[in-house]
Every structure is written in C-alpha cells, then in structure tokens.
Amino acid sequence: MGNPIRFILTGGERNDITQIEGLLDGLKTGHVLADKGYDGQRAMDAIAAAEAKPVVPRRKTTASWRPFDALLYRERNLIERFFNRIKNFRRIATRYDKLARNYAGFLNLVAALRSCL
C-alpha cells in the first residue's frame, strides 16, 4: 500500500544513490522500482546483488539498453503519494529539526500514523 520499509537520512547535498546499498541490504524482493536518478551502474550493481530485477527507466544519456516494464513502473506512484502525504506535516516538509535523530524520530511517527490511515 505504499508504506515505507526503511529509510536512511542524508545531508541535503548528498545524492540518494549513495545509499542504495544500505536500503537494499538484506531486503528480499523480486523488483526494485526507482526513478531515472537510479539508472547508474552503482544502482544496477546493487539491485543485481540483491537478486532483484530493476524497474528503472533509462536516461537519454545511458548507452546500455535493458528491458523496462512500464506497467510495473506505474506502481511507483504509491511511493510518490506516500511522500506527498507525509509532507502535509509541516515539520517534515520544512525540516526545521536541527538534529537528525529528532527528524528521524518524527519521520518514524508520521510514517506509522500514515500507514494506519
């Protein structure tokens, strides 16, 4: 239903792709749905190591071709809708918390509340 399994906080200047290994570590799944930002070799290697199939659209600059399941990729809207729902909480959307542990704690609370609704 679009509920989070895990999250890793990074600084605002960090790329999300730097955390893909940690997000997939120990996760058993058949497919990994991600946006074009995860089209790099690092992400593809991490997805392959997790024994999953990538469902990631290719960027125009990517030379290698791989199959892409557009119908399965539609399920990614659940992820986007989850992020939009939690941003209704101003504290999440603006990230006023100075400490990462405080922000992560509130993010856990909001995710738990939203998964119940």
Residue at 8 is within a domain: no
Q: pTM of the entire structure?
A: 0.79
Residue at 6 is within a domain: no
Residue at 49 is within a domain: yes
Q: Which pLDDT value is given to residue 52?
A: 94
**21 CB burial (10 A radius; 0-12, 13-18, 19+):** middle
Phi–psi pair at 83, nearest 5 degrees: -60, -40
Residue 22 structural domain: 16-116
Residue at 102 is within a domain: yes
Residue 98 has pLDDT above 70, yes or no: yes
Residue at 86 is within a domain: yes
Residue at 82 is within a domain: yes
CB atoms within 10 A of CB 1: 6
Residue at 5 is within a domain: no
Question: What pLDDT digit, counting tens, does each position of 41-74 carry?
Answer: 899 999 999 999 999 998 888 777 788 899 999 9
The count of domains in the chain is 1
Rama region for 63: left / alpha / beta (φ>0; ψ in -120 to 50; rest): alpha
Helices 77-86 and 100-116 pack at an angle, to 10 degrees, of 110
Q: Which pLDDT value is given to residue 117?
A: 63
Residue at 106 is within a domain: yes
Q: What gap in Å lies between CA 87 and CA 92, rounded to an integer?
A: 6
